[in-house]
Amino acid sequence: MSSKASEEIALVAALQEDSVTAFDALYRMYFSAVYANILHLVKDETAAQDIVQEVFIRLWEKRKLLHAGQPAGNWLFVVSYNRALNHLRSSLRQRLKIAEIAPDTAEMPEDEWQVTSIQLDMLERAIEQLPPQRKKVFLLCKMQGKTYAEAASELQISHYTVKEHITKASRFIREYVRLQPEWRALVAAFPLFAKIFEQ
């Protein structure tokens, strides 16, 4: 395990013990990557800024429920996508003026944390199935917000190789997740969840 990963796991443990300092450190570590992921999906800077603040508020509120011994990046990745998709759903409903006729089941479930946990478990299982080098590239670029050039430099591989790893990893994760029974149930109930791995 790298020193960075060990440091982050220690920060998560401290966060679970209500450390504001640990929260601030995780905020600085992940803000840029989380914001970029949200902006890529919603295409609206103001909305992305609001959503990223909601995500980190949620991180503090749910700190006791984080996976012990795991970095916070995966959790932030899933929650940020869920929040972004909520925004897209609300915008779509407003534009089409369907709020009056849409069934209540179109809304997020009350137990949002249960849904997030299912997605997080699927994502982590999928990432664990990746070849070691591809996993490193995916985590650097998608979870830590590194550019392809930064990942290439850190791993001493070419920019093209990084791009290929990301493409193949994303394709594998999409297919892996879509084959899981839990995912099929979520998509049946909440179709916009299918967008999570389209990027």
Cα dihedral across residues 93, 99, 103, 107: positive or negative: positive
- pLDDT tens for each residue of 139-166: 888 766 778 898 899 899 999 999 999 9
Determine phi and psi for 166, rounding to 5 degrees: -65, -45
Quick one: tokens of 5?
């990963």
* Residues sharing a CB contact under 8 Å with residue 17, sequence separation 6 or more, in sequence order: none
CA R_g for the chain: 17
The highest-level CATH class for domain 1-107 is mainly alpha
Mean pLDDT of 2-23: 87
Give the 3-state secondary structure of residue 102.
coil
Our CA angle for 28, 14, 3, nearest 5°, is 65
- pLDDT tens for each residue of 88-138: 767 665 655 544 444 444 444 444 545 556 666 777 788 889 999 998 898
List the domain boundaries for the chain. 1-107, 109-199
- pLDDT tens for each residue of 41-83: 788 899 999 999 999 999 999 998 887 777 788 888 888 888 8
pLDDT score recorded for residue 177: 78
Specify burial of residue 86 (Cβ count, 10 A radius: 0-12, 13-18, 19+).
middle
Quick one: tokens of 110?
């009350």
* Residues sharing a CB contact under 8 Å with residue 80, sequence separation 6 or more, in sequence order: 34, 37, 38, 51, 52, 55
- The CATH topology of domain 109-199 is Arc Repressor Mutant, subunit A (1.10.10)
Quick one: tokens of 28?
């600085």
